[in-house]
Structure 1
Amino acid sequence: MRFPRRQRESVEVNLTPLIDVVFLLLIFFMVSTTFDSRRSLDLILPQSSQASAVEQAPLIMTIGAKGDFTLGDTSLTESALGTALARHKDQADRFGLILEADGRTPHAKVVKALDAAAEVGITRVRISTRTGTDTSPPDAP
């Protein structure tokens, strides 16, 4: 006796939902990832046991180990500090000015930056430090 064979339906794996999920995950991680906007400066910040995180996007002035000034992405000379800070005064008034000085920076350069900020009327100035309670000086590179 011959039984008729049933035709088997071809089995297919639908990859469309898998591709959709992969793209959604990719978009999620692209949107939720924060990128570090700082340039690669070799700064060794002094330590502070009272440090607190910054919750807004302030104006950042960086002073390198040799006393070179940078405001945002712009390198400055000592004579141009006042005019550059005056241009960004509204941002500094809203979010403050953070002064990131290398631990090896001469103290006179930090005072010069603070004086320039005071001359244009910036009153919200914070000095950036690294957290920790270690009181030993940072290692020199």
Structure 2
Amino acid sequence: MDEDKEESEINLTPMLDVVFIMLIFFIVTAVFVREPGVDIERPAAVTAVDPGGGSIFIAVTANNEIWIDRREIDIPGAKSQIERLSSENPEAGIIIQADGQARNEVLIAVMDAAKEAGIADITIAAGD
């Protein structure tokens, strides 16, 4: 009788191994969108287009604060943050979400930091 019971059991270990491997695969290959961490009033543009793809978002507020990955940073620290995020996603471009009241000097400093970090694909986001 014990022999019949042992033969009728299903071994679930291989199935669980496959499920965990698939879970790890989907977690590793998922593209995570990193938002800058603040809301920005972007100026409108008639010719705005959606760049698509995975991107690194940088926000410049009306108070000329720079936000990357939900953290406020200063201009000298922008390059190192961009390099860090670019190493995590080498295919990503930069999307700068600048407030309409932000100073051009800060926007240009962020663009320079991105270029110094080796990013050539830089986009300035416009409102709807």
Q: Among residues 101, 105, 111, which one is paired with 2:108 in the alignment?
A: 111
Partner of 1:31: none
Shift of 1:40: 6.9
TM-score normalised by the chain length of structure 2: 0.66
Q: Among residues 73, 82, 85, which one is paired with 1:85 in the alignment?
A: 82
Query: Which consecutive residues of structure 2, in runs of 5 or more, have no partner in the other structure?
Result: 1-32
CA distance in 1, matches of 2:37, 2:82: 22
Deviations 1:70-121 (A, max 9, x none): 1121211112111111111235641211000000000100000001011111
Greater Rg, structure 1 or structure 2? 1
Partner of 1:63: 60
CA distance in 1, matches of 2:42, 2:119: 22
RMSD of aligned alpha carbons: 2.2
SS in 1 for 2:49: coil
Alpha carbons of 1:55 and 1:107: their partners in 2 closer, same or farther (altered >3 Å)? same
Partner of 1:121: 118
CA distance in 2, matches of 1:83, 1:40: 18
Alpha carbons of 1:99 and 1:40: their partners in 2 closer, same or farther (altered >3 Å)? closer
Shift of 1:49: 0.9
TM-score normalised by the chain length of structure 1: 0.60
How many percent identity over aligned positions? Answer: 18
Alpha carbons of 1:40 and 1:78: their partners in 2 closer, same or farther (altered >3 Å)? closer
1:75 to 2:72 alignment: yes
**Number of equivalences:** 96
Name the amino acid aligned to 1:108: E
